[in-house]
A = this chain, B = another copy of it.
Amino acid sequence: MNEADIVRLLTRGHADPRALGFDDDVCVIDGDIVTSTDMLVEDVDFRLRTFSAGDVAHKALAVNLSDLAAAGAVPVGFTLALALPEARVEARWIEELATALRALAAVEGCALLGGDLSRTDGPIVIALSVFGKADRVLRRRVGSVGDRLCVSGELGAAAAGLAILERGVVGDEWARLRGKQRRPSPRVAHGRALAANEACLGAIDLSDGLAADLPRLLPEGLGAALDLSALPIAADTRRAAEMLGVDPVSLATSGGEDFELLCVLRAGAPVPAGFTAIGEIVRGAGTPLAAGFDHFVTPG
């Protein structure tokens, strides 16, 4: 079974108009209140060898805030469920986790509202639910032939950072890329601007990579003609790709965890500030890209 099969099993028969399901990352609770849930598991989503407690905390909150950002929502609060192996986790580790959560929560105006603690004999698990308000929720499965695709920020940096951490490559020149992997910045302000932009038809955050997330943004049967030379890839990401012996465009399209926003804009609409135009919607499959990340398929 892959992730989609499991989601199908779980959601079958749960017909509810508010239930955008597991495919859309944000769902509407009531009125303008939306929520997103994301779980990080040690040794799947992070390793204690390369992630401090502060990195784990920041990333857990950031990936959830990224889902709110993609919906155009303003964060209001979050709850925290934490499974801790008491034999391996000390007070100082929890303190650092708490400090980093507090720091990002303060920046984003997002209060810790409550939660649940459990001990475990297995990996650390941190599951957050974040809540936000959205006058207009940006959805997926939007756009038609000729509409523009734009992406915020830059692509491939988080994947380059992961490879650098996993291979233990040292050197300050890669510090920014390590930071992109450990402490992504949720694009909350960009998402709010998109929600206020009438030309924006919908958006998604790039958690699993452009190749995996783009098909989730577009309606069935439509694809994207991408200008791969236009993909925003930073100079240090290109240098890292060369050092790692990988194609920088593959990092940008398949690496994942950039947590940038990918949006659909009506044909002819201007590119929003902080975004880069990367292509347009076409009938059919569009530009072929290598596969993205699936939690239940181990790379060969």
CB within 8 Å of B: which residues of A?
1, 3, 5-7, 9-14, 16, 18-22, 24-30, 33, 35-45, 76-77, 79-84, 86, 91, 94-95, 97-98, 101-102, 105, 111-123, 125, 127, 129, 131, 133, 295-296
* Interface pairs (21), CB distance under 8 Å: A10-B117, A16-B112, A16-B113, A18-B113, A19-B112, A19-B113, A20-B113, A20-B114, A29-B29, A35-B79, A35-B113, A37-B79, A39-B83, A39-B118, A42-B122, A81-B81, A116-B127, A117-B295, A118-B295, A120-B123, A125-B127
- Contact partner of A81 (CB less than 8 A), chosen from B24, B39, B43, B131, is B39
Report the minimal beta-carbon distance from A86 to chain B, rounded to whole angstroms. Answer: 6
Cβ contact within 8 Å between B83 and A13: no
A94 closest partner in B (C-beta)? B9
Cβ contact within 8 Å between B77 and A29: yes
A133 partner residues in chain B, CB cutoff 8 A: 30
Cβ contact within 8 Å between B41 and A83: yes
A28 partner residues in chain B, CB cutoff 8 A: 113
A12 partner residues in chain B, CB cutoff 8 A: 98, 102
A119 partner residues in chain B, CB cutoff 8 A: 41, 44, 295-296
With known contacts A79-B35, A102-B14, A7–B113 Cβ distance under 8 A:
no
Report the minimal beta-carbon distance from A65 to chain B, rounded to whole angstroms. Answer: 14
